Structure 1
């Protein structure tokens, strides 16, 4: 049994016990414990404090698993406990299947936990007022470029998934590259970064690597990369290529790389206007911020192509989403929820998920939401960790949540707060994204 199989088993027993799935922070503890890590090591890897993991989350987790599995479970013995549970459940399952094979049980409706990208076939994906159709039409155009921007957890990756799926339906080649998955050493210098970039794309397309034979140190890194793409990638594929670049914000952190890399992408987009082979390449770029650092925006892909800026859900979209969760809420009830979290896609979906399960009432949800006893506790604690390691950002956001009207803060902090979704922009000023953030952080950042 591997850790993923163990997590599936534990997620099932937890859901059967308390009608919820494992939380992200619980999964972090379980994965670390499976690897034999202590709480200090798990905390360093997961971005939490060891005290919080040991005395709060861990204590509650082992107690819950003990109740769910019917035996005492702790950090040391949980692997053996999971394996015993798996064996017992297999025996029970075989017996039940034998007894009930002629009497199938009708599946009950179960909502989908809002974690990561929304699956392609999910009824919980909400269309964005023809945005998808515009993207689908654009990606079919020679040398096209789509730029998707929005704060975190607004649905950028879910939209990108659908652009990729549509491209696959046309028979196009597609390569998704998430820059968060790149090792830090890749960003040591531009030449290494571009070699890695070519190697990654070539590998995903199952093309032979000819980097060592093709890379000429006298030509320069950008010319080498461009030539390699033209001769050994675009020339070797029999259809168009959609290159989907996700989380490009990470590249902004490395000015010595971002300037050359994004200027190169811009030149590729321009080449498609005059050079046939570059018509094959279509770019989809996803980012959360407009803080491009020292990047010259006029020599980048960030002022050309189709710009898609995702906004919050409307009341009508939330009504559809509630209906898809089999919740029959009236306008007043929907307005109560929106008064707390606005139309933020993730916050709305998490609320509807718990309401659909029936493990909380709307009244209790609204009352406990801005506290550590509410459904947003884990989400809010992640931000607290961000503030803990960034006092300058803490002070900037404290100014926002304690002000009676929109305020101006230092530019870099404003971009950072917007990119992580904590603020809305009203002209050059900021206001909290929703009442949930204002109420929670006004209390916790001042303590």
Structure 2
């Protein structure tokens, strides 16, 4: 049996693709490398390498009905051919995993063939999350892949025995942000529910000591005390909290204080935070109170031309010479969602790339819904519409007030370069150059 056959057999057994870390461990062990050398090579923690390997040996032992470990891994399996039944299973899986096109919408599923890793971001995240009291900060504008990355980090933590809770602040009703006490009670109740624990807020909440101390006591005395393993708290779209400065000024320093407590109190070392947001915070905080200057920062970059070509190939397109990829990127840059949407339509043969690019910024183009959502966001704030008109008129970078620049960056409309901004891609420049803001502004003001 060859190592590739071992990997295929494992994927058949697990009914999903191996993670990059699992494949790294197996191939390295097959080559006789030590766990320490694997950790150095891939920038992972040595302990996380051992934990992943231990789970793999357990699964392999069950598959082959005898103990498999690092010491006998290659010796035992290299001498053993695949059975006919195993060969048929692998062949069946190969035929059933021909690319099934997925319309790009929401986070990319763990089993998806269309997730493009942006190395070394994933490797750095997997290594960091195993550190006691760690914080990972993921920044990226709308539809850049923050949720998909968070999904993979929490999946990795599950593979090493951690508990995780994903909380998306976009799902919170506006009423939740009425005051700090209501917000923190909502926060704690949701985490309790996702951990399938009874909510016991009244046992820990005391108005005499305040909401923040009550929330901290609830985490330390109940949630963390209840768990024997680390808890990964994945907070998505934290920038929603920025819209409520009174709450942001209290809640964000609270997250920072929990990270600081991990340096002093063992139980807080169980808590690992992943914070995803689409723009810089524009609520003033002291440096020693902000959670946005600690931990591991990960900024999601656009796709490179190689990654666009890779994704095109996964869609069954032969774009190996780079010509088509360059044409697409000239219109949409390397924006993951815009690239994926184009590849979905071209691979479906619904439209040629040439037709798609000609119609891209029009009402009949594939980006019509996306562009209309951006327009609606601009029409909600007249200042933002005015900025877009300035950009169109200037046909170059312009300098903006920080808050306006951050708001436009958060929806992905512009890219920041120093203290100046410009459209993040040609698609947006072409579309908004032909939009008549005047009538909409008049209606909005009335």
Question: Do Structure 1 and Structure 2 share a fold, with TM-score over 0.5?
Answer: yes
- The match for 1:357 is 348
Q: SS of 1:425's equivalent?
A: strand
Alignment RMSD = 1.6
TM-score normalised by length of structure 1: 0.75
Residue from 90, 115, 123 that aligns with 1:125: 115
Matched, 1:141 2:131: yes
Matched, 1:404 2:404: no
| CA deviation after TM superposition for structure 1 residue 388, in Å | 2.1
- The match for 2:209 is 219
C-alpha separation in 1, matches of 2:205 and 2:286: 27
| CA deviation after TM superposition for structure 1 residue 410, in Å | 2.6
| CA deviation after TM superposition for structure 1 residue 205, in Å | 1.2
Say if 2:399 and 2:419, in contact at 8 Å, map to a contact too.
Answer: yes
Matched, 1:430 2:421: yes
- The match for 2:270 is 280
Residue from 395, 404, 412 that aligns with 1:421: 412
| CA deviation after TM superposition for structure 1 residue 106, in Å | 8.1
C-alpha separation in 1, matches of 2:410 and 2:347: 30
Decide which moves more: 210-219 or 147-156. Answer: 210-219
Which digits, 9 at most, give the CA deviation of each residue in 1:133-173, with x for residues without a partner? 10001000000000000111100000000011001111111
| CA deviation after TM superposition for structure 1 residue 402, in Å | 2.8
Aligned length, in residue pairs: 343
Residue from 325, 332, 353 that aligns with 1:341: 332
Matched, 1:300 2:315: no
Q: SS of 1:308's equivalent?
A: strand
| CA deviation after TM superposition for structure 1 residue 208, in Å | 2.3
Q: How does 1:224-303 map to 2 (within 5 A)?
A: 224-303=214-293
Say if 2:99 and 2:314, in contact at 8 Å, map to a contact too.
Answer: no
- The match for 2:71 is none
Matched, 1:392 2:383: yes
Q: SS of 1:298's equivalent?
A: coil
C-alpha separation in 1, matches of 2:415 and 2:257: 33
Q: Label 1:129 to 1:109 Cα distance change in 2 as closer, same or farther (>3 A).
A: closer
Residue from 174, 180, 185 that aligns with 1:190: 180
Q: SS of 1:334's equivalent?
A: helix
Q: SS of 1:444's equivalent?
A: coil
Q: Please identify runs of 4+ aligned residues in structure 1 that moved more than 6 A.
A: 105-108
C-alpha separation in 1, matches of 2:132 and 2:98: 46
| CA deviation after TM superposition for structure 1 residue 297, in Å | 4.4
Matched, 1:381 2:372: yes
C-alpha separation in 2, matches of 1:107 and 1:224: 50
Residue from 310, 313, 323 that aligns with 1:332: 323
C-alpha separation in 2, matches of 1:411 and 1:333: 36
Matched, 1:444 2:435: yes
- The match for 2:39 is none
Q: What are structure 1's unaligned runs of at least 5 residues?
A: 1-104
Say if 2:170 and 2:237, in contact at 8 Å, map to a contact too.
Answer: yes
Q: SS of 2:185's equivalent?
A: helix
| CA deviation after TM superposition for structure 1 residue 446, in Å | 5.4
| CA deviation after TM superposition for structure 1 residue 274, in Å | 1.3
- The match for 2:80 is none
